Amino acid sequence: MSMTTVSSTIRVRYAELAGDHVYYANYLGWVEANMGEFYRKYNVPWLGYEQAGIRTMVAESFGRFIRPARYDDAVTITTVFAAAAPKRAYFEHEITRQGELLAQFRTTHVLMAAGRDGVQPIPDEIARLADERVERVSVLEKPGDFPDSDGPGPAAVTAAEFPVRYKETDVAGAVYFSNHYVYFEVGRTELLRSAGLSFTDLKAGGVRLPVARACCRYLAPLAYGDTILVKTWIASVKKVQLTFRCDLVRKSDGAAIASGFTIHGCTDAAGKPIRVPEAIGRTAR
């Protein structure tokens, strides 16, 4: 059993719901809050690093969504410092409800210096807390787990454009890392809309597309007032599952901000798997 573990329990708030269950990006807010408990328990001086001009940043996040959390559920978030690489810290997180597994997450974190210094080594005072030291960490089990990394042809992409709102940024002035998943949803919605579909119409027809897995690689920060281009396409369609790919780009300079994917099951209103509608399959490249 890991010795570097911390757990906390919260009640699901009404504001965290989408429909009758917790919105998938909001789970990461719980993970981040529990990370704060971890820092305090083990006296990790993240704040001291930031005061010295070194920011802590999430480099990657990956989640598996197993069962929904609902309003007023008491959920427990458990975080383990699983591994430390020379320049990345790797954490594993579980969210449970009375022992029932709801979701699992993996995150990697870096220390980023201002200017040209870039990513800094993980200090020994932090690395020694990890269950093991390794040369490399990743939230994905193997490189091929990230689908369609080269991207599709231009005709297969649907783009949405909008500015970053102040409420989407954190204390460091950058977009909070869970909001990238909100932007992915904007991209999915626009992709379906451009094909004459909508999540509302699908729901009315008895079709649900719950998020089963989600991954994001954070490449550069976004700030308040930046305009985002969300480029979205369907990377694969299987019998009862489909994968959306999404790239975030800053419009002003074309900088790559993030790249990720969401894998969705296709179910009926009762949660039983059903075939992906042909109308969605036709939007895939």
pLDDT over 90 for what percent of the chain?
A: 81
Q: What is the mean pLDDT of residues 202-222?
A: 96
DSSP for 3-30, please give it: SSEEEEEEEPPGGGEETTEE-TTHHHHH
Q: What is the mean pLDDT of residues 234-249?
A: 95
pLDDT band of 156, cuts 50, 70, 90: confident
pLDDT digits (tens, 9 = 90+) for 4-27: 899 999 999 999 999 999 999 999
Fold agreement (1-139, 144-285): yes
Q: What is the mean pLDDT of residues 30-49?
A: 90
Number of Cβ within 10 Å of residue 261's Cβ equals 22
- pLDDT beyond 90 at 143: no
Q: What is the mean pLDDT of residues 137-147?
A: 91
Q: What is the mean pLDDT of residues 45-64?
A: 88
Cα(247)–Cα(156) distance, integer angstroms: 13
Q: What pLDDT is stored for residue 282 in this prediction?
A: 82
- pLDDT beyond 70 at 144: yes
Average pLDDT, the chain: 93
Q: What pLDDT is stored for residue 213 in this prediction?
A: 98
DSSP for the chain, please give it: --SSEEEEEEEPPGGGEETTEE-TTHHHHHHHHHHHHHHHHTT--HHHHHHTTEEEEEEEEEEEE-S---TT-EEEEEEEEEEE-SS-EEEEEEEEETTEEEEEEEEEEEEEETTTTEEEPPPHHHHTTSSEE-S---SSSSGGGSTTTT---GGG-EEEEEEPPGGGB-TTSBBPTTHHHHHHHHHHHHHHHHTT--HHHHHHTT-B--EEEEEEEE-S--BTTPEEEEEEEEEEE-SSEEEEEEEEEETTT--EEEEEEEEEE-B-TTS-B-PPPHHHHTT--
Q: What pLDDT is stored for residue 150 in this prediction?
A: 58
| CATH number given to 1-139 | 3.10.129.10
- Residue 171 or residue 186, greater confidence: 186
CATH number for 144-285 (one of 3.40.50.150, 3.30.70.20, 3.10.129.10, 3.40.50.10310): it is: 3.10.129.10
- Residue 47 or residue 77, greater confidence: 77
- pLDDT beyond 60 at 63: yes
- pLDDT beyond 90 at 74: yes
Q: What pLDDT is stored for residue 281 in this prediction?
A: 82
Residue 79 neighbours by CB under 8 Å, 6+ apart: 5, 6, 7, 31, 34, 35, 37, 38, 91, 92, 93
Q: What pLDDT is stored for residue 149 in this prediction?
A: 53
Domain boundaries, the chain: 1-139, 144-285
- pLDDT beyond 90 at 277: yes
Q: What pLDDT is stored for residue 48 in this prediction?
A: 80
Q: What is the mean pLDDT of residues 95-100?
A: 98
The model carries a pTM of 0.95
pLDDT band of 52, cuts 50, 70, 90: confident
**Lowest mean pLDDT across 49-53, 103-107, 142-146, 199-203:** 49-53
- pLDDT beyond 60 at 104: yes
- pLDDT beyond 80 at 183: yes
- Residue 254 or residue 155, greater confidence: 254
